[in-house]
Amino acid sequence: MIRGKLLLGMLVGTLLITSQLFAQADMVEKRQKLMKSNGEAAKAIKAAAEAKDYATIEAKAKDIMGNGDKILDFFPKGSTQGKTKAKPEIWDKWEEFSKNPVRVKKAASELADAAKAKDDEAIAVKVKALGDACGSCHKAFRAEKYPE
């Protein structure tokens, strides 16, 4: 009887751990999707800046601002399983990490303003600032390659 309970306990434990691992893999996928949509928005912004398509620049900058609000939720502690380039430093230096989405949002918001004002010079400056804001988080917290 006791043995049965132990086995049952172990089974439940294994199931819990397995489902947590699945949840984390899911999280990695979700955040990569979020980042991909950032990448697509950034690409669209560059093309739109060349075409002087101010409405698209503004809309995509706002998409990036919206994504910025979600970034931190997609990096729960321990979500390092599977095919991810997220460095463990993210959780050691959470305070520093968590400042980056704020910077991205600020740069995107200034870009949206510049697009609204149809100010090409400011747009060029803000596109670069946005790229730098994304890049500085990647430089510190994203690995070059997936772990072996």
DSSP letters along 59-73, please? Answer: HHHHHHHHHHHHGGG
Select from 49, 57, 65, 141 the one that contacts ligand HEC (CB under 6 A): 141
Do residues 79 and 24 make contact, with C-beta atoms less than 8 angstroms apart? yes
| Residues whose CB falls within 8 Å of the CB of residue 112, separated by 6 or more in sequence, listed in order | 57, 58, 61, 62, 65
Output 54 or 134, the one with its CB closest to ligand HEC: 134
Select from 21, 28, 120, 124 the one that contacts ligand HEC (CB under 6 A): 28
- The CA distances from residue 70 to 3, 10, 147, in Å, are 46, 36, 25
Q: Where does this chain touch ligand HEC (CB under 6 A) — which range of 1-9, 29-37, 50-58, 112-120?
A: 29-37
Binding mask 68-97 for ligand HEC (x = CB under 6 A): ---x------------xxx----------x
Select from 64, 112, 114, 115 the one that contacts ligand HEC (CB under 6 A): 64
- Closest among 141, 66, 128, 62 to 100, alpha carbons compared: 141
Q: How far apart are CA 61 and CA 44, in angstroms?
A: 10
Q: How far is the CB of 55 from ligand HEC (least distance, A)?
A: 19
Binding residues for ligand HEC (CB under 6 A) = 28, 31-32, 35-36, 38-39, 42, 64, 71, 84-86, 97, 100-101, 104, 134, 137-138, 141-142
